[in-house]
Amino acid sequence: MFVDEVDIHVAAGHGGRGCVAFRREKFVPRGGPSGGDGGAGGSVFIVASPHTSTLINFRFHPEFKAERGRHGQGSNRTGHTGADLELAVPAGTLVYEKAGDPLEPLHLLADLAEVGQRVLVAHGGRGGLGHAHFATSTNRAPRKAQPGEPGEEKALRLELKLLADVGLVGFPNAGKSTFIASVSAARPKIADYPFTTLTPNLGVVSLSDNRSFVVADVPGLIEGAHRGLGLGDQFLRHLERTKVLVHLVDVSGASGRDPAGDLDTVRRELELFQPTFASRPQLVAANKMDAVDDMTRVIALERRASALGLPFFRVSAATGSGTPELLEAIWRHLSAARPSTSQSSARDIAGPAREMRERDESHEAGESIPATSVGSNAKTRPVPRRANR
């Protein structure tokens, strides 16, 4: 089962509370306060993993919580820090934070486009200070300590966009699955009826001189797909990372449609979904040339592709005719259109991490920290956090 969008709830661990304890030892009168600090709560990270290809695990388990920090103990013992929680997602996953108002847009936290990238989505709460921090020259036996800070809780949406170099688009039953099966080791379902492909398929194409690229086959489009007709256009998000689009057009006449009209319809649906698709390199492949009974359809499609300034190829996915030339042309376009995505990915991930660092720096500088008093009401007192815990 292929799942490419899920909503989850993550909660970081709460910090442990500080301890109120006094040193009691023989021959040591008035041992003084010895309450330790509470441990910090665990944080929640999302990591791009090569060992998963779908978000199905999150659909049936949407709640995640990191371990909380342990409470401080006597003899100035600091509580154990809670373990961080790492959630593995496929490479190409976008992490959004949902706002409280459903009408507000989602906030992009990170685009995990490369394996190994990780993003902090929920920061664990700090541990409370033990009462030893509150001892002064006039109050040598304080009876108050800080409670641990609560960990962050967030509602997230995970959206998967497949990492592919080339996207195959066209009407249902145009031969896209047959094509990807003939040029790669992918084995999608192939049948002689529309909408055989219900989920995207990926295949790796290998060429000479150790050249290779990834091809994505998405379900077929029909006119009105942006309005939800057919399977809709929800799978077109998987083409947003592609660098080249290949239009596979059925010219056999079995569908009874005009091939040139099919090309215009698919291009229009792509632009309605994402206007930037219009500026992406595109190629037109007249498929099922082995079953052509009227060459006028092929000539009309070639003229329409020429008018649009798109390269035109005659192929047959079933027999393999014309596919080597098409693959070489795809590689030439890929070589000219490959941008570097590492800088943008690093920028996406740096945002939340920078916010966390700024927050921690403000904590280190000192701020008003509530302290709970044993046997009295809670008070607020500015206490700077020591460098060494």
Tens of pLDDT, residue by residue over 8-49, are 999 999 999 999 998 888 887 777 888 999 999 999 999 999
Q: Is pLDDT above 70 for 355?
A: no
The structure's pTM equals 0.70
Q: Is pLDDT above 70 for 199?
A: yes
Query: Which own/partner contact pairs does 202-206 have at CB distance under 8 Å and 24+ positions apart?
Result: 202/162, 202/164, 205/166, 205/327
The predicted structure's pLDDT at residue 388:
42
The predicted structure's pLDDT at residue 104:
84
Say which residue, 371 or 289, is predicted with more confidence: 289
In this structure, the strands spanning 44-49 and 63-65 are unpaired
Q: Is the four-CA dihedral 110, 114, 117, 118 of positive or negative sign?
A: positive
Q: Is pLDDT above 80 for 169?
A: yes
In the numeric block, the tokens 């970081």 are attached to 12
Phi, psi of 277 (to 5 degrees): -60, -30
Tens of pLDDT, residue by residue over 95-115, are 999 987 778 888 999 999 889
Q: What is the DSSP string of 95-131?
A: EEEPPSSTTSPPEEEEEE-STT-EEEEEPPPPPPPPG
Euclidean distance between the first and the last CA atom of the chain, given in angstroms as a whole number: 48
Query: Which own/partner contact pairs does 227-235 have at CB distance under 8 Å and 24+ positions apart?
Result: 230/172, 230/195, 231/195, 231/198, 233/269, 233/272, 233/273, 235/199, 235/200
Query: What DSSP designation does 280 have?
Result: S
| Helix ranges, the chain (H) | 56-59, 176-183, 259-273, 295-307, 323-337, 342-365
